[in-house]
Amino acid sequence: MIKEEKKTATAEEKTAKKKQRKKLFLKILLGIVAVIAVFILCVSLVSLIGNNANMAKAKSFENAGTRQLELEEYEDGFVNIYCDDELKVMQLTDVHLGGGWMSLKKDSMALNAVAAMITEEKPDLVIATGDVAYPILFQAGTINNFTGLKLFAELMESLGVYWTIAFGNHDVESNSIHSYEEVLELLSGEDYPHCLLSTAPGDVDGYSNHVINVVNSENKVTRSLIMIDSHAYAKGHIPVINWAYDNVHDNQIEWYSQVVKNLADENGAAVPSSVFLHIPLTEYRDAWNEYVENGRKDTENVKFIYGIAGEDGELVYCGSAEDGLFEAMLDGGSTDTVFCGHDHFNRFSVDYKGIKLTYGMSIDYLAYVGIYKVGAQRGCTMITYGTDGSVEYSAENYYQDKYSTVYEKETVEML
């Protein structure tokens, strides 16, 4: 009898202990959930308050006093700028506005830099060669790519400057909240009349293939600015482990060739053109390697103009395959200059087989670890197109004294 009572008591104790463990587990689980909920709430509040402050900052800059152009927009990705004077274009690249709680301060610095350079230079047109937005969760704290794009678009409206973009690999990530179609609808909407982004017909791959032609009073095109979508990642790409980038696709090359042919037919001769895209062509790599292998001296194919390859190992992170765009440029006899971004520390310009290949100065404060402390690569590229079809350009560093800022400019190392 005593043994049975002991067994019963032992069973009851075990049951009680199981209940206690369950209660403890539930308490721990609820505690974890509560901590996560509080964290999410705090992050949401910080993001809301911080992004509202940055949006207010973007809207706080005064009109830069840039020329308001006479424009005509057409279907299928064409815009005409009517101009009998020189056209002044600023290339910006890799602005990398995160738009999340982790990037608030760096987004603010990027806005300050862009505003200062536009206010001083007063370009007629700004061309952003990709990665305006950087919605990377572990660096920006968000996957909402609208926030960074809106910050930039609002800044351009405040400054009153016309602008467009050739998309980069980060503007619309595979896990971004908003698609390319939604981004196009946002930027081409009534809220942003200074944005000239449009897109070629749907049978051409990509979402930012478009053309801005400069037309004089004799109805002749003196310069064509051709934006090409260089896409994002190649098949088999594994982030961090294998950075493999896409190339310009065949139907885009066909579209480009048709554009320059039609312009030549309409004008009676080849029209000088510039191509703007994000990811560098493989010829950037080929040209730089040939120059370095020749003891950093000019070759028959390569003429050094300025700059350095500042990426580790002097690497050029071009598309992982070959494409025929450069050959199409040579065949078309139209394009004399190509401007790209993507590699934030590369800032060289070379003449390769008669076509000038140039990296834009980047803005990035966020993507590369510690890059906010370094300043030699940060700035813009100023391009002047003459009425005779000529082109001149220069790399301009943001930390020059001529670029005075409304808000305090940070101190950096000029490596």
Task: Tell me the mean pLDDT in the region 80-101.
Answer: 97
206: confidence class by pLDDT, cuts 50, 70, 90: very high
- Kindly report the backbone phi and psi dihedral angles of residue 162, in degrees, each rounded to the nearest multiple of 5, phi listed first: -75, 145
pLDDT (0 to 100) of residue 6: 58
One-letter amino acid of 167: F
Cα distance from N-terminal residue to C-terminal residue, the chain:
88
pLDDT (0 to 100) of residue 144: 97
pLDDT tens readout for residues 301-317? 999 999 999 999 999 99
Task: Tell me the mean pLDDT in the region 72-85.
Answer: 93
> Worst-scoring range by mean pLDDT, 41-45, 80-84, 158-162, 179-183?
41-45
Q: Are 205 and 167 in contact (CB under 8 A)?
A: no
* Higher per-residue pLDDT: 34 or 395: 395
pLDDT tens readout for residues 348-371? 999 999 999 999 999 999 999 999
> How far does Cα 89 stand from its chain's mean position?
17
pLDDT (0 to 100) of residue 404: 96
Q: In whole numbers, what is the pLDDT of the chain averaged over residues?
A: 93
4: confidence class by pLDDT, cuts 50, 70, 90: low
- Kindly report the backbone phi and psi dihedral angles of residue 258, in degrees, each rounded to the nearest multiple of 5, phi listed first: -70, -40
pLDDT (0 to 100) of residue 9: 58
Residue 13 has pLDDT above 90, yes or no: no
* Higher per-residue pLDDT: 11 or 214: 214
- Whole-number Å distance between alpha carbons of 362 and 129: 10
Burial class of residue 38 (count of CB atoms within 10 Å of its CB; 0-12, 13-18, 19+): exposed
> Worst-scoring range by mean pLDDT, 3-12, 96-105, 349-358?
3-12
**For the chain, what percentages of helix, strand and coil (3-state, to nearest 5) are there?**
35, 20, 45
Residue 244 has pLDDT above 60, yes or no: yes
pLDDT (0 to 100) of residue 264: 97
Task: Tell me the mean pLDDT in the region 94-117.
Answer: 98
pLDDT tens readout for residues 280-307? 999 999 999 999 999 999 999 999 999 9
pLDDT (0 to 100) of residue 18: 77
Q: Are 379 and 118 in contact (CB under 8 A)?
A: no
Residue 38 has pLDDT above 80, yes or no: no
143 vs 75, 146, 172, 190, 342, CA distance in Å? 31, 9, 9, 25, 20
Tokens of 164: 């467009």
pLDDT tens readout for residues 129-183? 999 999 999 999 999 999 999 999 999 999 999 999 999 999 999 899 999 999 9
